Amino acid sequence: MSSSKEAAAEERNWLDLPRDVLCTIFQKLGATEILTRAQGVCSVWRAIAKEPLLWRTIDMRNLGDIGLDFHLLAMCHRAIDYSSGHLLHINVEYFGTDDLLHHITHSTSNLRSLRLACCYQISDEGLCEIAEKLPQLEELDISISNLTKDPLEAIGQCCPHLKTLKFNMEGYRRPHIECDEEAFAIAETMPGLHHLQLFGNKLTNEGLLAILDGCPLLESLDLRQCFNVNLAGSLGKRCAEQIKELRLPCDPTDDYPFEAEIDYGSLDEDYPSGISDIDFLSDDDYDYYEFSGGSDFSEYDDDHPDYYDHF
């Protein structure tokens, strides 16, 4: 390379890139990468990190490391503040709280999708309280939680545009428990559903029939590990006719991102459903974003002096 070309290469500076190009680059980064790395590079990048349109989607994934929850919660609060009301989609894993839900709905009334995975600190009361502030919600994913039918009823009554619901539990055969409360809540309040996933739910044929009656627009239905459901006979025929994409209780779970039951034993009299046992679980793990330390939360402290004082 000639000396002139070398000099030109040395003079190139990321700061010289047009703002719209930098914004496009930032959109390729995850929320944590922006908050822990990119915004600390320089004042220009910090200003770009505050661009509200960058935060229409906030994806705060977590591998379940409890030690990260405190930091992710603070980062999520900051990302929501940066969105300035433009937030449309948010994914929260493990660290969600009732207070965070209130912060989300205080920031925007235009949320389209909400995913809460393994957020055990979110209560029935907390989700019920914010339901009326989600009038534009179209997709709701509540996977692995302590929640009951109550927030489902509240969401169904307050979110008329809801088209996709995932309400997933940890599937198991024993102890044998039957419960149709969630199924009835869905059937009675969510007539516009197009897609429904009820992994590991304890509904029975009665609850499934209520859903088929109450959700006539349903196109896809995931009943994997719903071991109380017996799809033999007329109910199975109706599901096949009404549902375009149907996943059965013992269908493979290799694309399910959480632990699923492995049961190689034979069915006993507690489950007279006629469902055969098969080896249906893949142990493949899902790759999630890795988070690194070294973030600078000094600005967040200035804006919120009473919030997480140790940062």
Same domain, 70 and 128: yes
151-196 pLDDT per residue, tens: 999 999 999 999 999 999 987 788 889 999 999 999 999 999 999 9
Please give the residue range of the domain that contains residue 93: 55-247
Average pLDDT score over the chain? 82
Inform me whether the pLDDT recorded for 137 exceeds 80: yes
- Domains: count for the chain: 2
Q: What is the pLDDT confidence band of residue 300, given thresholds at 50, 70 and 90?
A: very low
List for the chain the helix, strand, coil content (%; round to 5): 40, 10, 50
Q: For residue 208, report the phi and psi dihedrals to the nearest 5 degrees.
A: -65, -45
pLDDT of residue 171: 78
pLDDT of residue 184: 98
CB-based contacts of 278-287 (< 8 A; 24+ apart in sequence): 278/250, 280/250, 280/251, 280/252, 280/253, 281/252, 281/253, 281/254, 282/252, 282/253, 282/254, 284/254, 286/257
Same domain, 49 and 181: no
Residue 242: both structure tokens together: 């009404």
End-of-domain residue from the set 225, 247, 269: 247
- Residue type present at position 94: Y
pLDDT of residue 22: 82
End-of-domain residue from the set 221, 247, 273: 247
Strand bridging mode 164-168 / 195-197: parallel
Tell me the CA end-to-end span of the chain in Å, nearest whole number. 47
In a domain, 308, yes or no: no
Residue 77: both structure tokens together: 């609060």
In a domain, 40, yes or no: yes
Q: In what order do the strands lie in the sheet with 220-222?
A: 57-60, 89-93, 113-117, 139-143, 164-168, 195-197, 220-222, 245-247
Which of 32-41, 106-115, 169-178, 297-306 comes out lowest in average pLDDT?
297-306
Same domain, 117 and 136: yes
pTM over 0.85: no
- CATH code (residue 49): 1.20.1280
